[in-house]
Amino acid sequence: MHEKIATIEDVARHAGVSIATVSRALHKPDVVSQTTREKVQAAIATTGYTANVMARNLRLNRSGMILLLVPDIGNPFFSAILSGIEQGASKAGYNVLIGDTQNDPDREATYAAYLRSNQADAMILLNGRLPAPLANSPANATPPVVIACERIPGCGLPTVIIDNEQAAFEATTHLINHGHRKIANVAGPDNNILTVDRTAGYRRALSEHGIAIDPKLTFVGDYSIDAGIAAGRSLLADAKTRPTGLFCASDGMAIGVIVAAKELGLRVPEDVSVFGFDDIHLAAAYDPPLTTVRQPRRRLGEQAITLLLDRLDPKTPNKTGKTDPVIVPTELIIRQSTGPCPQG
């Protein structure tokens, strides 16, 4: 089917040298004489030779692949992170292999096995769970793995995250500073570490301002728009108990809340303030433009790959000591979905 592909041997024959010389001409040009170097170049040109990467990798015992484990590649949330990672990896001569785990532990394990089978040199985890094979790995030899996005408490692996607690604290504080006292927490799933951290920040803000925490003002969602709609309907229906501000753990839920608020004839932000989280692409174009916490996703990816490349670099000493998580800063983006607390 394919025309026969040129190997290093073909090049050697054309150039009238040994394959060793061809290889050297390619990888350590300074050690080969001017004239033969030219002969080899010419031979490569005429044969159209491209090195068989698999053979080289076998010999060098590396793959040049960085495996990226992501819970759902279909979720646009990850695309910017991906982009940051891909760019850094590509610049360093690595390729990015995506493993869509679909949150399935079996698939996670399968992909994690790529590390052992030399199919990948390193791994970046975007999902907040350690694949089984890794958990059992000997404690001394830290595998070339970096956690991004969600931290995994006590796993000792290099991690890059945003400070969810602090960001939530600041967002909630912003609402408090605008006079809001009844502030709801539209949270993510209970078991999700992001939610745990964000809820902690929300609570700290209330506590520090002497506001009691009302468990009825917490809604457990799943980051989706629909969850936000449900939250809005449930929290905003009763004018008596209605919060004037809502801190939402995702822009999706914030948008859902706003949809529900409009349904109920409430104006945002005049009647109710809604704070989002993420700063998704459409946040600024929504009506009203969303006040939110900007997650620097691309930056997150860049940091993750930087950390990993650093870890992979043979020149840097092998740091076995647990390193503190790298924290990429968030930013409060104040738009028009929040405002002063209505009187009354």
List of residues contacting DNA (CB under 7 A): 5, 7-9, 16-21, 23-24, 26-27, 31-36, 49-52, 55-56, 58-61
Say how far apart CA 197 and CA 217 lie, in whole Å: 17
Residue 83 binding target from a second copy, DNA, none, CB below 5 to 8 Å by type: a second copy
225 binds a second copy (CB under 8 A): yes
What is the Rg, in whole angstroms, of the alpha carbon atoms belonging to the chain? 27
**Helix or strand or coil: residue 248?**
strand
Closest distance of CB 191 from DNA, Å = 38
Q: By rule CB under 8 A, what string of x and - marks binding of each residue 137-176 to a second copy?
A: -x--x-----------------------------------
Residue 130 binding target from a second copy, DNA, none, CB below 5 to 8 Å by type: none
Q: Are 82 and 74 contacting, i.e. CB atoms less than 8 angstroms apart? A: no
Buried b (16+ CB within 10 A) or exposed e, 206-224: beeeebeeeeebbbbbbbe
Residue 66 binding target from DNA, a second copy, none, CB below 5 to 8 Å by type: none
**Helix or strand or coil: residue 245?**
strand
313 binds a second copy (CB under 8 A): no
Half-sphere exposure of residue 332: CA atoms within 13 angstroms, side-chain side:
16
User: What count of other Cβ atoms lies within 10 Å of the Cβ of residue 58?
Assistant: 12
74 binds a second copy (CB under 8 A): yes
Q: Are 276 and 250 contacting, i.e. CB atoms less than 8 angstroms apart? A: yes
**Residues touching a second copy: how many (CB under 8 A)?**
55
87 binds a second copy (CB under 8 A): yes
Place of tokens 């493993």: 99
Give the sheet arrangement for strand 273-275, strand by strand.
218-220, 183-187, 245-248, 273-275
Q: Tell me whether residue 201 or residue 256 sits nearer to a second copy (CB atom).
A: 256
User: Rounded to the nearest 10 degrees, what angle do helices 225-236 and 251-263 cross at?
Assistant: 50
339 sits in the region (left: phi over 0; alpha: psi -120 to 50; else beta) called beta
Q: Tell me whether residue 144 or residue 201 sits nearer to a second copy (CB atom).
A: 144
User: In the set 36, 100, 165, 222, which binds a second copy (CB under 8 A)?
Assistant: 100
Closest distance of CB 306 from DNA, Å = 26
Q: Tell me whether residue 248 or residue 255 sits nearer to a second copy (CB atom).
A: 255
Q: Tell me whether residue 10 or residue 278 sits nearer to DNA (CB atom).
A: 10
User: In the set 18, 33, 118, 207, which binds a second copy (CB under 8 A)?
Assistant: 118
User: In the set 16, 29, 76, 340, which binds a second copy (CB under 8 A)?
Assistant: 76
User: Rounded to the nearest 10 degrees, what angle do helices 34-47 and 19-27 cross at?
Assistant: 100
For a second copy, the binding residues (CB under 8 A) are 1-3, 5, 50-55, 57-58, 63, 65, 72-76, 78-80, 82-83, 86-87, 90, 95-100, 113-114, 116-119, 138, 141, 225, 255-256, 258-259, 262, 281-282, 284-287, 298, 318
